[in-house]
Homo-oligomer: A and B are copies of this chain.
Amino acid sequence: MLKTPRLTRILTPLLAATALLSAPAALADGVVDNVNGITLGARGEVVRFRAMQIDRNGKVVRLFAGKEKPPKKVEWRTDMQGRTLVPGMIDAHGHVMGLGSQLLLLDLSQTRSLDEALDKIRSYAAANPNKWIVGSGWNQERWGLGRFPTAADLDRAVSDRPVYLERVDGHAGWANTRALAAAGITAATKDPAGGRIERAGGNAPAGVLVDSARTLVEKVVPQSTPRERNAAFLAAQDKLLSLGVTATADMGTTIEDWLTYRRIGDLNLLKVRIMSYAHGVDTALTVAGQGPTPWLYGDRLRMGGIKIYDDGALGSRGAWLKAPYADAPNQRGLGFLSDDQLLNMMTRGSMDGFQIAIHAIGDRANQQALDAIEVLSDTYKDDRRWRIEHAQIVDPTDLPRFGKFGIIASMQPVHQTSDRTMAEARLGEGRLNGAYAWRSILQTGGRLAFGSDYPVESPDPWAGWAASFTRQDPQGQPPGGWRMQDAVTREQGWAGFTTGAAYAGFAEGKIGRLAPGLLADFLILDRDPVTAAPGALRATKVLETWVGGYKAWPAK
């Protein structure tokens, strides 16, 4: 880095510190040999190779294909015996600490009926003498309940302590009678702005709290301790790595979340790469000050953007629609922000160079987000990469603006397969043309980044990839796929979980594919995902997960 004695003498501590952080570490260069190597290339083409050289910084030096021979004089060499090697998968939309909590707390995401959920809650409460029972993952749609669950339902499982359980989408909470009492919610409590208290007879709270009404209870739920947060993070990280996710966007990082990532990073335990989007403008400024943080901990953590919530979710009828819900004609969902509020937040973030990621599920919310982006695109003409998270239901007349403003639609293929029948009920057949419209968005020139929205869905990227080109659920339903005009190709689906997700995080110069100069984040798989039948792709097993040239999982 420094050539002459003269230069070194006048080095400032600034340079010294830079060198400490960025200097080549004393690691070895080596070769991963004898692989069925597959990656996307710079133009989205499938590239195959049989060996890969990695340098001391954990970056790819070169891929070797055909009869090209990797160098013999390297410090290490691993023979993968012909197994498949692909780039690490990237989840463009997840909630790291939410996943950690789900893994450590009561998890109802696998329950198939209200009764099964109540049994699970009862057993958990018996085994955990906590003052509060806290958990997540319930979904009345999956239960086929046809209504929200109630406090009275929950009291049947636990009535001696408060219980509070987040809905699978994080947009609603289910409280028992003790929890409602602890929060002081009565028939006289009004719905807060941007939220709704579900009501029973005599206006009494029924038990479920939608969107901002959740905070009425959440502010009295005991906070997890930093020690618990550390444990939750490590559980989430292990889960992600085990599924082959080497990098993830973290959508809505709070100060407490950020401090957790820093604690883990400071202890040299951060393995997965986190592209952090702050929970609102103030959090971004508090964490990062005058603009995105640098990449920290060897390209493993960066706060580069701001997550803004513009509406709720479809399941809890919080998604903000242009026309009433087909299955609830007096509801249009919840718009969280006025046009001015949204523009103001986006301006505050953009002024300081943060990327903006707007959660918009309903077509009205998407319209508002696109309107705001259109306004701000006049001011910010440089590479802003505006993101709309979910972009689930878009009015077809609004679709072209994704292309026009180079917007990234950050979408979750598995949501489509999970939501299909619910979406049909909520919207009715006539309004599905811009729903889960992956291909339509690509065709406008918009960009796709794929993710899972874990812990709302499993972080398994293989299920997401399979759904992207089949539009079928794990049981192969519906036959032939749902609204196949909006399926993408297998390669486009893969790109969504690799190069597209990297681009969405301003990280395409570091990750997303395997090429000279990019970081050696890669997986060893039990099959070739590019040629496997969809069902087999879905069942892909990750054998090893490498991040930055080192094996990160299994811990061994």
Contacts and interface: CB of A to CB of B under 8 A. Distances in A.
Interface of A: 1-2, 5-6, 8-21, 23-28, 30, 58, 75-78, 225-227, 229-230, 255-256, 259-260, 262-263, 266-271, 285-290, 293-294, 296-298, 300, 547-552, 555-556
Contact of A8 (B28, B229, B269, B555): B28
Given A17-B297, A19-B26, A21-B268, A289 B227 contact: yes
Nearest to A299: B20
B13 A271 contact: yes
Contacts of A25: 16, 19-20, 23
A286 B227 contact: no
Contacts of A75: 5, 8
12 contacts: A5-B75, A8-B30, A8-B75, A10-B551, A11-B551, A12-B552, A14-B271, A17-B270, A18-B268, A21-B21, A23-B23, A23-B26
A115 to B, nearest CB: 39
A291 to B, nearest CB: 10
A52 to B, nearest CB: 14
Most interface-central of A11, A27, A294 (chain B CB within 10 A): A27
Contacts of A225: 285
Please tell me how many copies of the chain the complex holds: 2
A18 B27 CA distance: 11
B293 A16 contact: no
A58 B13 CA distance: 10
A397 to B, nearest CB: 40
* Chain A binding surface, main DSSP class: mixed
Contacts of A267: 294
Nearest to A1: B26
A555 B14 CA distance: 10
Most interface-central of A2, A20, A259, A550 (chain B CB within 10 A): A20
Given A26-B2, A27-B2, A16 B548 contact: yes
Given A13-B552, A18-B268, A548-B13, A76 B298 contact: no
B27 A11 contact: yes
Contacts of A58: 16
B26 A24 contact: yes
A460 to B, nearest CB: 22
A14 B28 CA distance: 15
A55 to B, nearest CB: 12
A134 B348 CA distance: 25
Given A77-B5, A294-B267, A27 B17 contact: no
A162 to B, nearest CB: 23
Most interface-central of A24, A227, A259 (chain B CB within 10 A): A259
A135 to B, nearest CB: 23
Nearest to A264: B289
Given A2-B26, A2-B27, A2-B28, 20 more contacts: A9-B30, A11-B27, A12-B552, A12-B556, A13-B548, A14-B268, A16-B25, A16-B27, A16-B58, A16-B298, A17-B297, A17-B298, A17-B300, A19-B27, A20-B25, A23-B24, A226-B285, A256-B286, A263-B288, A266-B293
